[in-house]
Amino acid sequence: MGKIVTIASLLTIYTPLLGWTTVGWILGRLLPATMPARLGQFLFWVGVPVSIVAFLRHVSLSASLWIAPAVAWAAMLLGGGLAWWISQRSCASPATTAPQAKNLLSLHQSTLSRPTQGSFLLSSMLGNTGYIGYPVALALVGQQYFAWALFYDLLGSTPGAYGLGVAIAARFGGETRPQRWQAIQAMVKNPALWSFGIGLTCRDRPLPAPLEQSLRGFAWGVVALSLVLIGMRLSQLSTFKRIKPALYSLSIKMLLVPLALGFALWMLGVNGLVYRAILLQMAMPPAFATLVIAEAYELDQELTVTTLVAGCLGLVVMLPLWLWLSSILGLPNPPN
């Protein structure tokens, strides 16, 4: 029975995930190069904020929701710590680095300049818990538990990217150094954060049935458009040169961190669909915000692009693992 449920769950997410992303990739090849930016602006300012309000309608809130952003910050710090350790060992002088360590890391000293280290850190820390995380969560945990995915993204990943992520980029970036207040201003102006507050406040306010249905239909349309946008952006990414450091970064972001913190959550008694929602958000591929930050702060854009492409492909392969793991560790509390 569990196997049937898992296959059904995979089909539930793979069909729209691959289908709409493929549509976006094709459109990205056919339409003008400015279309992804225009669609992104629409989703950023209108689509995603309205969909957040819609999906928060009548959602059940719990005191345990604080776990989601706490885990998000723990995941970012753990990913950054592991990436920092690897980058420092890789950049150590040959005289002080053991042969076993060099064989294990296999990252050549010249590949880890300061901009490369910055991109390596960001890709190991920041996940796409919005444009990809939202559709995955809605398909695999349902709207009832979608609040955990929202809290993870809007109180964890978003401030992490434009706060901690920008601080790291400013340290490792090139000569172009935008003012830090610009990052704070961008985070404060993020309409998703404002709609998150509005949605929580008005989630139980009655609405006419036609308006309720229209709001929900619009929200599901935004989910599809988000996947289309991912495909359109992927169609514009052509470089695939930094594969070795990208694979190390993705191993940290999409494997080691979810495994370590997923086991910790299980030991703390987190289970069920709450466990699955948080685990899936931890396992998301690197965020497109890493490319935005890399471009603004003159980091290693080739490494960033490679991790984005490989991460999206890796998600298709890794989803069965996380569904299987959540079906086992998501059971009731572990034995004493």
Please report the sign of the dihedral spanned by the C-alpha atoms of residue 81, residue 319, residue 154, residue 273. Answer: negative
Q: What is the pLDDT of residue 332?
A: 58
Q: What is the pLDDT of residue 173?
A: 78
Buried b (16+ CB within 10 A) or exposed e, 70-82: ebbbbbbebbbeb
Task: Please provide the distance, in angstroms rounded to a whole number, between the alpha carbons at the two ends of the chain.
Answer: 28
For the CA atoms of 149, 280, 293, 89, the dihedral, rounded to the nearest 10 degrees, stands at: 140
pLDDT digits (tens, 9 = 90+) for 123-153: 999 999 998 999 999 988 988 889 999 999 9
Q: What is the pLDDT of residue 97?
A: 45
Q: What is the pLDDT of residue 70?
A: 96
- Kindly report the number of other CB atoms within 10 A of residue 251's CB atom: 15
pLDDT digits (tens, 9 = 90+) for 291-331: 888 887 888 888 998 999 999 999 999 999 998 888 887 66
Structure tokens at 264: 């910790």
Closest CA to 323 of 160, 170, 140: 140
Is residue 240 predicted with pLDDT exceeding 80?
no
Do the beta carbons of residue 177 and residue 297 sit within 8 Å? yes
Do the beta carbons of residue 241 and residue 305 sit within 8 Å? no
Is residue 91 predicted with pLDDT exceeding 80?
no
Q: What is the distance between the alpha carbons of residues 221 and 244, in angstroms, rounded to a whole number? A: 37
Structure tokens at 306: 């490679």
Q: What is the pLDDT of residue 31?
A: 93
The DSSP output letter for 286 is: B
pLDDT digits (tens, 9 = 90+) for 179-207: 556 656 666 777 888 888 898 888 888 88
